[in-house]
Amino acid sequence: MLDLPEHDNDNDNDEITEAAFLALGLDPALVEVLDELGYETPSPIQAESIPSLIAGRDVLGQAATGTGKTAAFGLPMLQRLAESGRRDERRPFGLVLAPTRELAMQVNDAITKYGSKIGARVLAVYGGAPIGPQLGQLKRGVDVVVATPGRAIDLMNRGALALDALEVVVLDEADEMLDMGFAEDIETILQATPADRQAVLFSATMPRRIELLAREYMREPVMVRIAREEVPEGEAPRVRQTAYMVPRTHTTTALGRILELERPTAAIVFCRTRADVDAVTETLTGRGLRAEALHGGMDQEHRTRVVERLRNGRTDLLVATDVAARGLDIEQLSHVVNHDVPKSPEAYVHRIGRVGRAGREGVAITLVPSGAIRHLRNIERLIGKSVPVAPVPTVDDLKAARLERTRVQLREQIVTDLRQDADADVDGVGAMVESLMGEFDPADVAAAAVRLARTGSTSPDDDVEIPTFNAPRGGADRGASRGGRPDRLGGRGQGPRPPREGATRLFVSAGRAAGVRPQDIVGALANESRLSGRDIGAIQIHERHSLVEIPEHAADDVLRSMRGVTTLKGRRANIRRDRAAN
Ligand code: AMP
């Protein structure tokens, strides 16, 4: 019999939960948190990795997001931390490297949660956020650091991040990090860690570069491979649903911020009244988002034109009343946004049924003023699960996101410029910059240029925090991520699907960060190969890459005619078979 720790068990399931996780060798203090989070059984990647990791082995795992990999590496790391008996140690015990700020924050949230009962000090450090507070926290002492590679190097160079006492290093989404050009940074970081530390590497794909990295820096790793979860034929694709608790007077402002961070490629924003439609459209347009109104007061011709503009990508957001949007079926739709919670739960289900078609990722965002919480509860009862609540972006989030976007755009521009003939200064910009450099510090010239390019995309209330409130949870919320960030792909088991029968998936090296939308991919393929729009299947736009399904029999021909490159949003992007899918 397992020796179960005491706490208020409310049903038999808790015991089953605990037994399954305890059997993997996890500490009761960690298992208690999992129980509270509503995790019932270990996911396959957890069952396979946790025992080896607790035993101190290196693990090389192939698993995509949504498989539960964060807990798979996070829990054993926390357990080993608890067992290490460290006291007053300032230097980190564990380091997790993640490709993006988003993922770093997500991993940080998860590990903080998992480690809450053992008093783990967890810190996320990433570019685009002020470095001062990160320096301060590191100085006070941190057990686990979750970092993007660039910021980790920066902090190491400043002597703030010491890796000489490190016991565990994790590379999360290693393939993404290599694709983003972090190979050198990663090696520098790994070389700064002690030779006998444990190394864990997770990657959705296992290209040769990853194998080489593992061979160089890991010791006889245990290999763990988890197949992607199949979505059965005919099953409705799942939609990532998120609610934001915001006082009614702030819903429109909050929506502007959320959409600025979320950057949908094609969305319908549902409003209750025509007046709301106009006000919301104005606010969103004022933020530099491409939004257009659709309501019954417009004549049919005008309405058709607006819908057409969303379809062909000339606008991103359609702000509409339920009535005006009735019967609208827009294939490319990525997001459904509820400026108000619909009173009837069926209307909600109907609205969100418009996204997530044909294997595409769908997102549903709902703003919930306190008076509408009961409507949300009714919806949760109808759909049989709770809608996770996410925090409204803060002023800092907004600033960090804008900086990060600027950084990505700058990097892309720099790389594009470098690829072109550097001597050919056709537009004279090079010479102009040279002359300014003679007069000012190059860093000041660059900063001024960036500020100049960024003007105009802000809103007057960008410096005001939006108040929020905590709603009491109803009965349907077991296992919900309370107040946490929304899951990237809507929770467990919703990782990328395999391509459909007879289709293959292509990888395109440009995504949301470059402003790519599904229609751009369709356009590029249709222009540059013999494919027609009808041949093109599911399209997924990720932050820095996109995936598109095309018929297998046409793939070689397409790749040959495009010679591995295409032009998206005026920039070159590589196109090849997706290694993860083929
Ligand atoms: P990840 O693949 O780490 O991004 O995890 C995806 C989602 O699955 C997260 O929302 C986790 O909270 C959730 N999750 C992880 N492990 C389990 C589990 N054993 N049972 C239920 N949910 C889980």
Burial 270-289 (b: 16+ CB within 10 A, else e): bbeebebbebbbebbbebeb
Q: Are 549 and 500 contacting, i.e. CB atoms less than 8 angstroms apart?
A: yes
Boundary-marking domain end, from 351, 383, 415? 383
Examine the domain organization and report whether 207 and 251 are in the same domain.
no
Ligand 1 atom closest to 110 (CA): 12
Q: Residue 36, Cβ neighbours under 10 Å: how many?
A: 16
Predicted confidence (pLDDT) per residue in 521-559, tens digit: 877 887 777 777 667 777 788 878 888 888 888 888 888
Report the separation in Å between the CA atom of 490 and the middle of ligand 1, taken as the mean of its atom positions.
Answer: 10
C-alpha dihedral, 394 to 281 to 238 to 569, nearest 10° = -90
* 509 and 437 belong to one structural domain: no
What letter would DSSP give residue 90? -
CA of 143 to the centre of ligand 1 (A): 22
Residue 526 lies in a domain: yes
Same domain, 75 and 134: yes
Ligand 1: which residue has its CA nearest to atom 5?
68
pLDDT in tens, 31-81: 999 999 988 889 889 999 999 999 999 999 988 767 889 999 999 999 999
Q: Please state the domain count of the chain.
A: 4
Asked if residue 409 belongs to a domain, the reply is: yes
pLDDT of residue 565: 79
Sign of CA dihedral 486, 489, 490, 492: negative
In this prediction, residues 217-236 reach a mean pLDDT of: 68
In 366-376, which positions are buried (b, 16+ CB within 10 angstroms) versus exposed (e)? Answer: bbbbeebbebb
Report the CATH number at residue 502.
3.30.70.330
Which amino acid is located at 144 in the chain?
V
Strand partners, 503: 551
In a shared domain, residues 42 and 135: yes
Pocket test for ligand 1, best of 13, 14, 36, 43 (most atoms within 8 A of CB): 43
Residue 368: CB partners within 8 Å, gap ≥ 6?
243, 244, 245, 246, 341, 376, 471
Q: Is the pLDDT of residue 120 over 90?
A: yes
Q: Is residue 468 situated within a structural domain?
A: no
Which of 225, 255, 280 is the C-terminal boundary of a domain? Answer: 225
Query: Minimum mean pLDDT among 235-239, 240-244, 277-281: which range?
Result: 235-239
Determine the Cα–Cα distance for residues 292 and 526; give it in Å rounded to an integer. Answer: 27
Handedness of CA 309, 310, 313, 315 (dihedral sign): positive
Containing structural domain, residue 510? 489-577
**180 shares a domain with 128:** yes
For residue 55, which of 76, 71, 73 has the smallest C-alpha distance? 76
- Asked whether residue 157 falls in the same domain as residue 287, the answer is no
Tokens of 382: 């109808």
Task: Work out which ligand 1 atom sits closest to the CA atom of 492.
Answer: 8
Going through 126-205 in order, the beta strands assigned E by DSSP cover 144-147, 168-171, 198-203
Could you tell me the pLDDT band of residue 477, with boundaries at 50, 70 and 90? Answer: very low
Between the CA of 494 and the centroid of ligand 1 the distance, in Å, is 10
**Centroid of ligand 1 to alpha carbon of 315 (angstroms):** 35
Of ligand 1's atoms, which has the minimum distance to the CA of residue 43? Answer: 19
Q: Name the one residue in this structure whose structure tokens are 């992607």.
A: 228
How far from chain centre, in Å, is Cα 423? 39
Please state the atom number of ligand 1 nearest to the C-alpha of residue 63: 2
Mean per-residue pLDDT over the chain, rounded: 82
Average pLDDT in the 495-515 region? 78
Is 505 inside a domain boundary? yes
Is residue 237 pLDDT above 60, yes or no?
A: no
What does the pLDDT read at residue 474?
Answer: 46
Nearest to 390 by CA among 240, 239, 245: 245
- Whether this prediction's pTM lies above 0.85 is answered by no
Provide the terminal-to-terminal Cα distance of the chain, rounded to the nearest Å: 45
- Residue 539's Cβ-side half-sphere holds a number of Cα atoms within 13 Å equal to 26
Supply the CATH number for residue 183's domain: 3.40.50.300
Share of the chain above pLDDT 90, in %: 32
4 domain residue, yes or no: no
**Where a domain ends, among 352, 383, 414?**
383
In a domain, 102, yes or no: yes
Task: Out of 39, 75, 176, 489, give the residue to mutate to test ligand 1, the one with the largest number of ligand atoms within 8 Å of its CB.
Answer: 39
Same domain, 370 and 404: no
Least confident of 165-169, 320-324, 409-413, 419-423: 419-423
Phi/psi at 244 (5° precision): -125, 125
Instruction: Tell me the best of 33, 67, 70, 112 to mutate to test the pocket of ligand 1, counting ligand atoms within 8 Å of each CB and taking the most.
Output: 70
How many Å lie between the centroid of ligand 1 and the Cα of residue 541?
A: 22
> How high is the pLDDT of residue 93?
97
Q: Which of 116, 149, 114, 121 is nearest to 137 (CA)?
A: 121
**pLDDT level of residue 164 (50, 70, 90 thresholds):** very high
C-beta atoms surrounding 431 within 10 Å: 10
578 CA distance to ligand 1 middle (Å): 25
Q: State the helix-helix crossing angle for 395-419 and 442-454, rounded to 10 degrees.
A: 110
- Write out residues with Cβ below 6 Å of ligand 1: 39, 42-43, 46, 65-71, 487, 491-492
The 10s digit of each residue's pLDDT in 343-386 is 888 888 878 877 866 556 688 999 998 888 889 988 888 877 78
Q: In this structure, are residues 355 and 349 in contact, taking their beta carbons and an 8 Å threshold? A: no
- Beta carbons within 8 Å of 202's beta carbon, 6+ residues apart: 61, 62, 63, 69, 72, 73, 170, 171, 172, 173, 174
In a domain, 252, yes or no: yes
pLDDT at 236: 44
Name the nearest CA neighbour of 285 among 303, 269, 304, 307: 269
Q: Closest residue (by CA) to atom 21 of ligand 1?
A: 39
Same domain, 143 and 193: yes
| More confident position, 297 or 123 | 123
Q: Tokens 């003023």 identify what position?
A: 369
CA atoms within 13 A on the CB side of 448: 9
Confidence band (pLDDT; 50, 70, 90) for 459?
Answer: low
pLDDT of residue 52: 96
* pLDDT at position 13 over 70: no
Residue type present at position 194:
P
Same domain, 143 and 101: yes
C-alpha 67 to ligand 1 mean position (Å):
6
Q: Using 50, 70 and 90 to split pLDDT, how confident is the model at 484?
A: very low
Closest CA to 394 of 251, 269, 261: 261
What residues pair up with 244 in beta bridges, in sequence order?
367
Q: What is the mean pLDDT of residues 129-135?
A: 91
Atom of ligand 1 nearest to the CA of 69: 3
Q: Are residues 373 and 412 in the same domain?
A: no
Provide the 3-class DSSP secondary structure of residue 411.
Answer: helix
Instruction: Specify whether 414 is located in the same domain as 514.
Output: no
CA–centroid distance, 302 to ligand 1, in Å, is: 45
Tell me how far the alpha carbon of residue 268 lies from the centroid of ligand 1, in angstroms.
29
Per-residue pLDDT band at 3 (split at 50, 70, 90): very low
* Ligand 1 atom showing the smallest separation from residue 488 Cα: 4
172 and 71 in a common domain: yes
pLDDT beyond 50 at 493: no
Answer yes or no: is 215 within a domain: yes
Q: Are 169 and 191 in contact (CB under 8 A)?
A: no
DSSP H helices in 202-329: 208-217, 251-262, 274-286, 300-311, 322-325
